[in-house]
Amino acid sequence: MWKWLHPYANPEVTYHFTGKILPWFVALTVITLSTGLVWALLFAPADYQQGDSFRIFYIHVPAASLSMGIYVGMAVAAFCSLIWQLKLADASAAAMAPVGAVFTAIALLTGSAWGKPMWGTWWIWDARLTSELILLFLYLGVIALHNAFEDKNLAGRAASILTLVGVINIPIIKYSVEWWNTLHQGSTVSKLGKPSMTIDMLWPFIFCFLGFALLVTTIICIRFRTEILARNSIRPWVRNLVILENK
Amino acid sequence: MLNKKVMTITSSNKLSYRDAFMLIIKRDLTIAFRHRDDILNPIIFFIIVVTLFPLGIGPEASTLSRIAPGIIWVAALLSTLLSLDNLFKSDHNDGSLEQMLLSPHPVFILVLAKIIAHWLVTGLPLIFIAPILAVLLHLNENSYGALMLTLLLGTPVLSLLGAIGVALTVGIKKGGVLLSLLVLPLYIPVLIFATSAIDTSAMNLPYSGQLAIIAALFFASLTLAPFAVSAALKVSTN
Amino acid sequence: MQFDSISDFFNMGGYAFFVWLAYGATAVMLALLVISSNSSFKKMKQQIAQRQKRETKLRQAAQLQRTLELEHDQQEQQAEKNNSKEVLS
C-alpha cells in the first residue's frame, strides 16, 4: 500500500491527479445534492410533530456532522505533517480549515432557525449548540494562525500544533459543556422524542448527506490545489504549467 | 550580566537537569522583580475588572453573590492572558530564547521552568487577592475554601495552556489579539469546573469531584503542554 | 409530491420564514465559499504568471544591458587601438 501511496507525496503528481478527478466530483456533487434537496423539499413527508420545519433537518444534520468530521480530518493531516514532515499534509490541512468553519457556521445558523419554531428561542445554551460554537472558535483560531505567518510552511506547522492541541481538548470541552449544561440548565430543553426515521425520510437524508460530503470534497480539492501552487510557486513544473496555460 | 551567566551555564554539559531548572526559575524571577510593572499591571487589571461588574450590574448583594465565582474566574482568565505576553517575548527579542533551544538540556525542562516562574509572579498573587475581591462581591461564606483551591489548581493550567498560545505567536508582530483567539477556547473546561465547584460549595455540598477534574486537567497539561510549547517554539524561532 | 400548489410549497406549512432562512443562508454561504475558492485558485495562477513575466522582463533587461556594455567596451577598445595607432604613426 505504501508503494502505491508513495507517488502522491509528490506535489506535481497529486496536483495533476486531483485535477483529473475534480470534474467527476463536481458532477457527482451536482447530481446527488440536487436530487437530495429536491427530494427533501418536495417529496419527503412532513414530520407529524414538527410539520414542515423538519425539512431544515436535511441541511442541519449533515452540516453538523461534517463540521466535526472535517476537524478530525484536519487533525489527521496535522499529525502526518508534524510526524512525517509531509508538506502536502500541511497544504490539505490549510485547505480544510475554512471549509470546516463555514460548515460549522451553517450548522449553527440552521440549528438556530430550527430552534426558534421548535423551542421558541433562537438560541439556548444547550450542550450540543455550545460545543458547536466552541468548535467554530477553534476553527477561527486555526485560520487566523494560518494567516498570521508570511511563510506558508511555518504557518502550516504552527497551525498543525494548534490543531492537535485542539483535538485533545475537544472531548474535554464537549464533556465539560455537557456536564455544565445538566448542572445549570435542568430540563428547560424539552427534547422532542427522536423522530423515528421512516424510509421515505431516510432516503432523502442519505442523498443530502452524500451530496454535502461530496461538496466538501470538491471544495477542499480546489483549495488544496491552490495551496499546492502557493507552496511550489518557484518550482519548474509550476512554471511550465502556467506557461502552458497562458499560451 | 545575569543573562550571560545563565547562557554560558546552560550551554555547558556538566549542569544537571535540576540545576538548569532552578537556574531558569531564578533568572526569570530576578528579571520579573526588576520589572515590577509587569507583575503589578495584570493584578491591577484583575482588581479593576472585578470592580467594574458591580458598577454594571447593580449593587444588590444577592445578585452579586450569585455571579461572584464567574466574575472572579473570568477576570482571572483575562489577567492571565494579559500577562502571558511577557512569557517569551523579551527572551525572543534579545535572542536568549534561541540559546535556550540550542542548549544541550531538554527543552521540556527549560520551558517548564519558565512557565512555573511565570505562574509564581502572575498566578500566585491572584490567589492572595481573590478573597479580598470575593468580600466585595458578597461571595457565600462557605465558598472561600473552594475559591482558593480552584484558583490554586486552576491558574497553573491557565499558564500552561497559555504558554502554548504564546509560543505559537511569539514570532508574530501583532500576536496579542491572536493569542486570545487561540487560547480562550482552551480555557473553557477550567472555567466550567472551577465555577461549578464554587457554586456547589455555596450550597454546602461536597465539591471534591470538580476539584479532582481540575487536578486531572492540571496534571495532564503539566505533562503534555511543555512538549507542545517546545514544538511551537521551534517553529516560531525558525 | 407533498404540496398541492406552488404557494403551498413556499408557505412550508406555516414555517416558511424559518425553512427558507435556513436554506437561503446555507445557499449563500456555500456559494460564497465556492466562488472564493475558485477565484483564489485563478488568482494564484495569475500571480505566478505575473511574477514570471516580471522575472523574464528583468532577465531580458539585464541581458540587454550586458550586451550594450559589451559593445561599449569593444568600441572603447577599438578607439584605444586607433589612438595608439595614431600615436605610433
pLDDT in tens, A41-78: 888 777 767 777 788 888 998 999 899 999 999 999 99
User: Which long-range contacts does B119-124 make (Cβ < 8 Å, 24+ apart)?
Assistant: B119/B155, B119/B156, B119/B159, B120/B25, B120/B29, B121/B28, B121/B29, B121/B32, B121/B38, B121/B39, B122/B39, B122/B42, B122/B43, B122/B79, B122/B80, B122/B83, B122/B159, B123/B80, B123/B155, B123/B156, B123/B158, B123/B159, B124/B155
Task: Inspect the structure and tell me whether chains C and B have 3 or more CB pairs less than 8 Å apart.
Answer: no
Separation of alpha carbons B191 and A244, rounded Å: 57
Grouping H, G, I as helix, E, B as strand and the rest as coil, residue B108 is: helix
- Three cell numbers written together for A54: 423538519
User: What does DSSP assign to residue B105?
Assistant: S
User: Where would I find the H helices in chain A?
Assistant: 2-5, 11-38, 57-84, 87-119, 127-148, 152-184, 199-231, 236-246
In C, minimum Cα distance to A107 occurs at C26
- Report pLDDT digits (tens) over A111-156: 888 888 887 888 888 778 888 899 999 999 999 999 988 888 888 9
Q: Is A47 helix (H, G, I), strand (E, B) or coil?
A: strand
pLDDT of C22 > 70? The answer is: yes
Contact B192 A177 (CB under 8 A): yes
Alpha-helical (H) ranges within B103-207 are: 107-136, 144-169, 175-202
Cβ of B228 under 8 Å from any chain A Cβ?
A: yes
What's the one-letter identity of residue B46? F
The secondary structure of residue A126, as a DSSP letter, is -
Q: d(Cα A113, Cα A102) in Å, to the nearest integer?
A: 16
Residues pairing with B56 in the sheet: none
Average pLDDT over residues A177-181: 78
Which residues are CB-contacts of B68 (< 8 A; sequence separation ≥ 6)?
B134, B137, B138, B139, B140, B143, B198
Which residue numbers of A have CB closer than 8 Å to C's CBs?
Answer: 41-46, 51-53, 55-56, 59-60, 63, 98-99, 102, 105-106, 109-110, 113-114, 116-117, 215, 219, 222-223, 225-226, 229-230, 233, 238-239, 242-243, 245-246
> Quick check: A59 and C23 CB within 8 A?
yes
Residues 144-203 of B with CB under 8 A from A: 164, 168-169, 171-172, 174-175, 178, 181-182, 184-186, 188-189, 192-193, 196
**Residue A30's pLDDT band (cuts 50, 70, 90):** very high
> What is the spatial distance between Cα C74 and Cα C71, in angstroms, rounded to a whole number?
5
**CA A2, CA B134: separation in Å to the nearest integer?**
61
pLDDT at residue A11, rounded to an integer: 85
C-alpha cell at B116: 512555573
Confidence label for A186 from pLDDT (cuts 50, 70 and 90): very low
Looking at chain C from residue 29 to 48, which residues have their Cβ under 8 Å from any Cβ of chain A? 29-30, 33-34, 37-38, 40-41, 44-45, 47-48
CB A125 within 8 A of CB A78: no
- The DSSP secondary-structure symbol of B171 reads T
Confidence check on the interface: ipTM exceeds 0.95, yes or no: no
| A188 has pLDDT over 80 | no
Are residues A229 and C41, on separate chains, in Cβ contact within 8 Å?
yes
Q: Which residues contact A142 (CB under 8 A, 6 or more apart)?
A: A74, A97, A159, A162, A163, A166
Separation between Cα atoms, residue B12 and residue B191, nearest integer Å: 42
Which residues of chain B have a pLDDT value below 50? 1
Average of per-residue pLDDT across C9-19: 80
What is the band of A94 on the pLDDT scale with cuts at 50, 70, 90? very high
User: At C63, is the pLDDT very low, low, confident or very high (cuts 50, 70, 90)?
Assistant: very high
B179 within 8 A of B158, measured Cβ to Cβ: no
A51 three-state secondary structure: strand
Q: Count of residues for chain C?
A: 89
B partners (3+ CB pairs within 8 A) are: A
Q: What is the pLDDT of residue C89?
A: 62
Residue B13: how many CB atoms within 10 A of its CB?
Answer: 7
State residue B8's pLDDT score.
55
Q: How far apart are CA B38 and CA B33, in angstroms?
A: 9
pLDDT level of residue A192 (50, 70, 90 thresholds): very low
Q: For position B7, what pLDDT does the model report? A: 57
Report helix angle B17-34 to B36-57, nearest 10: 70
Query: Can you give the pLDDT at residue A247?
Result: 66
Strand partners, A47: A51
Lowest mean pLDDT among A23-27, A217-221, B84-88, B223-227: B84-88
Tell me: the pLDDT tens digits for A142-153? 999 999 888 888
Residue A187 has pLDDT above 70, yes or no: no
Question: Is the CB of residue B222 less than 8 Å away from at least one CB of chain A?
Answer: no
Confidence of residue A213 (pLDDT cuts 50, 70, 90): very high
Q: How far apart are CA A183 and CA A130, in angstroms?
A: 14
The answer to whether A136 and A106 have CB atoms below 8 angstroms apart is no
